[in-house]
Amino acid sequence: MELGKNAIFFLSALLAAILSIFLFPALNTSTTINKWLNLKSSIKIADLVVTNAFIYTSDSSFPFAESMAIRDGRILRVGNHSSFQDLLRNGVKELNLNGKVVVPGFIDSHVHFLWGGLQMVRVQLQGVNSKEGFVKMVKEAVAEKNQGCWVLGGGWNNELWGGDLPIASWIDEITPNNPVWLSRMDGHMGLANSLALKIAGITNYTKDPTGGTVMRTSGGEPTGLLIDSAMNLLVPQIPEVSVHERRDALVRASKLALRRGVTTVVDLGRYLPGATTEDVWADFSEVYQWADSKAEMLIRVCLFFPMETWSRLQDLISKAGHIWSQWIYLGGVKAFVDGSLGSNSALFYEPYLDEPHNYGLLVTEIDSLYNMTMASDKARLQVAIHAIGDKANDMILDMYNSVASSNGNRDRRFRIEHSQHLAPSAVSRFGRQKIIASVQPEHLLDDAGSVAKKLGADRADKESYLFGSLLANNAQLAFGSDWPVASINPLGAIKTAMKRIPPGWEKAWIPSECVSLSEALNAQTISAAYASFLDQELGSLSPGKLADFVVLSTSWDEFEVEASASIEATYVSGVQAYP
Mean pLDDT, the chain, integer: 91
Task: Please indicate, yes or no, whether residues 67 and 156 belong to a single structural domain of this protein.
Answer: no
pLDDT at 43: 55
pLDDT at 405: 97
pLDDT at 1: 40
pLDDT at 7: 45
Positive/negative CA dihedral, 360, 366, 369, 374: positive
Positive/negative CA dihedral, 550, 552, 557, 560: negative
pLDDT at 28: 40
Distance, CA of 235 to CA of 233 (rounded, Å) = 6
Instruction: Tell which of 206, 237, 268 closes a domain.
Output: 237
pLDDT band of residue 3 (cuts 50, 70, 90) is very low
* Percent of the chain residues topping a pLDDT of 70: 92
Domain-embedded: residue 37: no
pLDDT exceeds 50 at position 439? yes
- According to DSSP, residue 324 is labeled S
Question: 188 vs 44, which has greater pLDDT?
Answer: 188
Instruction: Please write the tens of the pLDDT for every residue from 235-245.
Output: 999 999 999 99
Q: Do 243 and 275 meet the contact criterion of CB atoms below 8 Å apart?
A: no
Query: Mean pLDDT, to the nearest integer, of 344-352?
Result: 96
Domain-embedded: residue 366: no
Backbone angles phi and psi of 388, in degrees to 5: -115, -50
How many domains is the chain built from?
Answer: 2
Task: Please indicate, yes or no, whether residues 144 and 123 belong to a single structural domain of this protein.
Answer: yes
Task: Please indicate, yes or no, whether residues 56 and 123 belong to a single structural domain of this protein.
Answer: no
Domain-embedded: residue 565: yes
Domain-embedded: residue 573: yes
Task: Please indicate, yes or no, whether residues 172 and 212 belong to a single structural domain of this protein.
Answer: yes
**Whole-model pTM?**
0.88
Domain-embedded: residue 215: yes
Domain-embedded: residue 139: yes
Instruction: Please write the tens of the pLDDT for every residue from 220-232.
Output: 999 999 998 899 9
Task: Please indicate, yes or no, whether residues 145 and 209 belong to a single structural domain of this protein.
Answer: yes
Q: Do 412 and 435 meet the contact criterion of CB atoms below 8 Å apart?
A: no
pLDDT band of residue 188 (cuts 50, 70, 90) is confident
Domain-embedded: residue 125: yes
Task: Please indicate, yes or no, whether residues 95 and 134 belong to a single structural domain of this protein.
Answer: no
Instruction: Please write the tens of the pLDDT for every residue from 304-335.
Output: 999 999 999 999 999 999 999 999 999 999 99
In terms of average pLDDT, the best of 15-24, 154-163, 399-408 is 399-408
pLDDT at 425: 94
Q: In this structure, what CATH number is given to the domain that contains residue 187? A: 3.10.310.70
Distance, CA of 228 to CA of 294 (rounded, Å) = 37
Task: Please indicate, yes or no, whether residues 92 and 122 belong to a single structural domain of this protein.
Answer: no
pLDDT exceeds 60 at position 79? yes
Domain-embedded: residue 167: yes
Query: Mean pLDDT, to the nearest integer, of 106-119?
Result: 97
pLDDT exceeds 50 at position 487? yes
pLDDT at 13: 41
Task: Please indicate, yes or no, whether residues 90 and 121 belong to a single structural domain of this protein.
Answer: no
Task: Please indicate, yes or no, whether residues 123 and 172 belong to a single structural domain of this protein.
Answer: yes
pLDDT band of residue 82 (cuts 50, 70, 90) is confident
Instruction: Please write the tens of the pLDDT for every residue from 564-579.
Output: 999 999 999 999 999 9
pLDDT band of residue 33 (cuts 50, 70, 90) is very low
pLDDT exceeds 80 at position 131? yes
Query: Mean pLDDT, to the nearest integer, of 364-377?
Result: 97
**Which range of residues forms the domain containing residue 192?**
115-237
pLDDT at 89: 80
Q: Do 423 and 390 meet the contact criterion of CB atoms below 8 Å apart?
A: yes
pLDDT exceeds 60 at position 23? no
Instruction: Tell which of 181, 214, 237 closes a domain.
Output: 237
DSSP alpha helices (H): ranges in 448-488?
451-455, 457-463, 467-472
Q: In this structure, what CATH number is given to the domain that contains residue 78? A: 2.30.40.10
Look at strands 101-104 and 476-479 and give their pairing.
Answer: unpaired
DSSP alpha helices (H): ranges in 165-268?
169-172, 194-200, 243-259
pLDDT band of residue 91 (cuts 50, 70, 90) is confident
pLDDT exceeds 80 at position 11? no
Q: Return the minimum-mean-pLDDT range out of 32-41, 452-461, 479-488.
A: 32-41
Task: Please indicate, yes or no, whether residues 49 and 145 belong to a single structural domain of this protein.
Answer: no
Query: Which neighbouring-strand residues pair with 266?
Result: 302
Instruction: Tell which of 187, 221, 237 closes a domain.
Output: 237
pLDDT at 440: 98
Query: Mean pLDDT, to the nearest integer, of 432-453?
Result: 95
* Percent of the chain residues topping a pLDDT of 90: 84
Other beta carbons within 10 Å of 444: 24
pLDDT exceeds 80 at position 190? yes
Task: Please indicate, yes or no, whether residues 133 and 183 belong to a single structural domain of this protein.
Answer: yes
Task: Please indicate, yes or no, whether residues 91 and 171 belong to a single structural domain of this protein.
Answer: no
